[in-house]
């Protein structure tokens, strides 16, 4: 994988919605890509842009404790998507790292997600740990819970 010089930014959900929908909910109605957390207090959305300014990857973070855990303030993320045309070029890493940095700046000590089983290698390469057993998200497929401790 090469490291992308991708520019990242915290953006309104409208900026990332089409990429999220097309990658994560292809062929499904647009409303299936709307998350209840999109407009919740503390939620932020990250986009990564190519040199022409096109959104190539995205992710949404929101404050939510890890299930069954009390302690560290935590951010959950979901809706992470990379344009298939640029996979492996660092755009996904760029939005994830920017989001983790932003969560840390907002006081989180932990970040987590329910990530697709097919992305396990990606998350582990970024320092995440699998927590628990594989489970199935209805109409989406097999997932694991991934966690990472944040600095600070």
What local confidence, expressed as pLDDT, does residue 68 receive?
79
pLDDT beneath 70: ranges in the chain: 1-5
Residue 49 and residue 27 in contact, taking contact as beta carbons nearer than 8 Å: no
d(CA 79, CA 45): 9
* pTM for the predicted model, two decimal places: 0.91
Q: How far is CA 56 from the centre of its chain?
A: 13
pLDDT at 107: 94
pLDDT at 5: 62
């Amino acid at each position: 994988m090469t490291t992308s010089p991708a520019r990242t930014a915290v953006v309104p959900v409208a900026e990332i919605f089409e990429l999220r929908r097309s990658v994560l909910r292809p062929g499904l109605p647009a409303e299936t890509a709307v998350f209840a957390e999109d407009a919740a207090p503390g939620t932020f959305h990250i986009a990564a842009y190519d040199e022409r300014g096109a959104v190539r990857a995205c992710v949404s973070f929101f404050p939510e404790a890890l299930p069954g855990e009390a302690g560290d303030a935590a951010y959950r993320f979901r809706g992470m998507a990379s344009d298939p045309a640029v996979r492996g070029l660092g755009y996904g890493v760029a939005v994830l790292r920017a989001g983790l940095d932003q969560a840390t700046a907002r006081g989180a000590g932990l970040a987590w997600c329910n990530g697709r089983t097919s992305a396990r290698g990606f998350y582990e390469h970024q320092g995440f740990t699998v927590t628990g057993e594989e489970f199935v998200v209805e109409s989406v497929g097999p997932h694991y819970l991934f966690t990472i401790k944040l600095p600070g």
